[in-house]
Amino acid sequence: MTQLSPTAIKDALQSAVPIDSIQVQGWVRTRRDSKDFSFIELNDGSSLRNVQIIARNTLPNYAALQRLTTGASVRVTGALVASQGKGQKWELVADNIQIVGAADDSYPLQKKGHTPEFLREIAHLRPRSNLFSSIFRVRSRLAFAVHQFFQERGFVYVHTPIITGSDCEGAGELFRVSTIDIKNPPRKNGGIDFAQDFFARPTYLTVSGQLEAEAFALALSNVYTFGPTFRAENSNTSRHASEFWMIEPEMAFCDSNGNMDLAEEFVKYLIADARKHCPDEMELFARFVDKELLARLDLVVERPFQRIAYNDAVDLLKKSGEKFEFPIDYGLTLQSEHERWLTEKHFKCPVTVFNFPKEIKP
């Protein structure tokens, strides 16, 4: 007898026809009993959707199944049949349910809404929540779309160094990387003797792969990086992270217009990709996180981005009659409130401000 290969619940639910014998595996979301059955909602993280398992009371381990609680993991073999229930095309009538691992009452993800704050405290379990499993599936899909976008256009993916000896944005923001014994560092001439460090010199975590990417672009024409980047800034805002994945395209033969073209095409490509490949997840974000999300994303995809020179943008802001918290004038950088006025109030679409004075280049 050949062993039955397991099927992802996402694929099972998209089946075009009933399937006599199918195996799924996953974690119990909820279970409820009727007279002769137990109904198990099973999720395996392949999508937001659960498959409903019908466990008949004739199953040999029915008593144990009736003790299954949220979070338990099971392997189910049975028949995929048209569902009588509402809102689902298929359900799975089980021939066999193997309990892989039980969960007890202390399992923290019981059936109810959880705040992101609560989920943050159970980082090892939060990928099982609808919100975070959706976030991580979309992140994965978008990471792939990033590669697809550049590879389709002949860009070469470059892994630039993470540990670096160069200090391109000022030492204050850098994490030091070292194997020196910090309790008793080797000293020389009043300073630290970095000749005894791992790379025989001071080294840091990269803040940008731009330097190396530029060298590669001057050989391969079009390249991109996509890797972790670090800032040791002690600012706890939603705009700062000490560790994040950054994308840096570099093009050898390109001007400012070509650069803006690429950025616009890229943003639109990623949004369209997420809309196409993650419809359930985007719907969930729109329902529970940001009601205007989908309308705003579609606007970004549909309309050309507005392009405006820095001086013209400052003109508009000065003449706007708006009361801003921060001053605006030629030579000053644009603050978040100025950017929002340009995009949300004035142009009502994404705006690229070009010809920034090089002294305040963001």
Using CB under 8 A as the criterion, which residues of the chain lie in contact with its own copies when the complex forms? 6, 8, 10-11, 25-27, 44-46, 73, 75, 100, 123-125, 127-128, 133, 136-137, 139-141, 143-144, 147-148, 151, 154, 156-159, 161-163, 174-180, 182-183, 185, 191-192, 198, 205, 215-216, 218-221, 227-228, 230, 232, 234, 242-243, 245, 252-253
The contacts of residue 135 (CB under 8 Å, 6+ apart) are 281
**Pick 207 or 314: Cβ nearer its own copies:** 207
CB 105 → its own copies: shortest distance, Å? 19
CB 6 → its own copies: shortest distance, Å? 6
Maximum C-alpha span of the chain = 84
CA-based nearest residue to 69, from 124, 94, 106, 97:
106
Question: Cα–Cα distance between 344 and 333 in angstroms, integer?
Answer: 18
**Pick 214 or 337: Cβ nearer its own copies:** 214
Pairing between β-strand 90-101 and β-strand 51-56 as defined by DSSP bridges: parallel
Cβ of 193: how many Cβ atoms within 10 Å? 13
**Pick 46 or 83: Cβ nearer its own copies:** 46
CB 54 → its own copies: shortest distance, Å? 21
Question: Cα–Cα distance between 38 and 36 in angstroms, integer?
Answer: 7
Residue 134, classified by CB atoms within 10 Å of its CB into exposed (0-12), middle (13-18) or buried (19+), is buried
CA-based nearest residue to 22, from 107, 84, 91, 105:
91
Question: Cα–Cα distance between 295 and 289 in angstroms, integer?
Answer: 14
CB 349 → its own copies: shortest distance, Å? 25
Question: Cα–Cα distance between 254 and 174 in angstroms, integer?
Answer: 31
**Pick 241 or 351: Cβ nearer its own copies:** 241
CB 227 → its own copies: shortest distance, Å? 7
**Pick 180 or 286: Cβ nearer its own copies:** 180
Question: Cα–Cα distance between 303 and 353 in angstroms, integer?
Answer: 17
Question: Cα–Cα distance between 182 and 180 in angstroms, integer?
Answer: 6
CB 154 → its own copies: shortest distance, Å? 5
**Pick 221 or 343: Cβ nearer its own copies:** 221
Residues in the chain: 362
* Cα torsion through 36, 42, 47, 49, rounded to 10: 30
DSSP state of 345: I
User: Could you tell me the sign of the dihedral formed by the alpha carbons of 329, 332, 337, 339, in that order?
Assistant: positive
For residues 158 and 209, is the Cβ–Cβ distance under 8 A? yes
CB 178 → its own copies: shortest distance, Å? 5
**Pick 8 or 59: Cβ nearer its own copies:** 8
For residues 334 and 352, is the Cβ–Cβ distance under 8 A? no
**Pick 137 or 338: Cβ nearer its own copies:** 137
CB 35 → its own copies: shortest distance, Å? 31
CB 296 → its own copies: shortest distance, Å? 25
**Pick 185 or 347: Cβ nearer its own copies:** 185
CB 337 → its own copies: shortest distance, Å? 30
Residues 235-245: b if buried by 16+ CB within 10 A, e if exposed:
eeeeeeeeeee
**Pick 133 or 208: Cβ nearer its own copies:** 133
